[in-house]
Amino acid sequence: ICMDRGEKKEAAAIFEEGLDLTKDRPESLERASILFELGHCMFSLGDNKEAIACFEETLKIRTSKLGDCELVLDTQIEVGKIYKTLDLHRESLKAAKEVMFLTEKLYRGDDARAASALYGVAEAYEVLEEYTEAVAMFEECKELLKNALCADHPDVAKVMQRLAKLHANHQDCEKAYSCYTDASQILTANFEPEHQLIGEAPHGTGVTAQTPR
């Protein structure tokens, strides 16, 4: 209630009381739940170091108690979001990979979930400017989405545009042009001409087409 009312300091104090009540059960799931909520609270208060400590301890307890399960996966995803928000790029990549591995274990054969996890890894590689790895992950993500959805689904176009930007940034204009063209065709088939997404891919196609090869 305090968090909903914006009383974050009061909420933090209550969560701290909860931790005190569970100090004799340092690895209990109740304590993990309190740490998880306190982490969100401290993050909203700008205490990023404490927020990360709370989330990491939550993940440690839940992994130890529950093993590979959806709750642990959700916690990994939240930890990754915090790292990404704080521009902790190496930590973000590590978290994204953990999400990818656990997603594969829990949802083997679910190409849509696998694609989502791969997308996170690809983004992390892109931010770190590890071009080869980022391209490989986005390419695999694209193929999984084609299997899970269809070849002309807008999500496929989204990945194609990310690939196009990567190729363009690394002066591979041929591949960039091809990706932008494919993305443009998919978007045109799915949206009305005035939709804002329609203009993005053609613009990229035009820019790469004018670039000397």
> Who contacts 210 (Cβ-Cβ below 8 Å, separation ≥6)?
none
Task: Please tell me the predicted confidence (pLDDT) of residue 25.
Answer: 96
Q: How confident is the model at residue 211 (pLDDT cuts 50, 70, 90)?
A: low
Q: How many residues are listed for the chain in this entry?
A: 213
In a 13 Å sphere around the CA of 184, the CA atoms on its Cβ side amount to 15
Q: Which of 149-153, 155-159, 197-201 bottoms out in mean pLDDT, i.e. has the lowest? A: 197-201
* Arithmetic mean of pLDDT over the chain: 90
Residue 76 above 70 pLDDT? yes
Task: Please tell me the predicted confidence (pLDDT) of residue 146.
Answer: 94
Task: Please tell me the predicted confidence (pLDDT) of residue 190.
Answer: 82
Task: Please tell me the predicted confidence (pLDDT) of residue 94.
Answer: 96
Q: How confident is the model at residue 196 (pLDDT cuts 50, 70, 90)?
A: low
Task: Please tell me the predicted confidence (pLDDT) of residue 39.
Answer: 94
Residue 191 above 80 pLDDT? no
Average pLDDT on 160-178 reads 93
H helix runs in the chain, sequence order: 8-21, 29-44, 48-66, 70-85, 89-106, 111-127, 131-148, 154-169, 173-190, 196-210
Task: Please tell me the predicted confidence (pLDDT) of residue 187.
Answer: 87
Residue 124 above 70 pLDDT? yes
Task: Please tell me the predicted confidence (pLDDT) of residue 195.
Answer: 60
Average pLDDT on 104-126 reads 96
Query: What is d(CA 66, CA 51) in angstroms, rounded to the nearest whole number?
Result: 22
Residue 55 above 70 pLDDT? yes
Average pLDDT on 72-84 reads 93
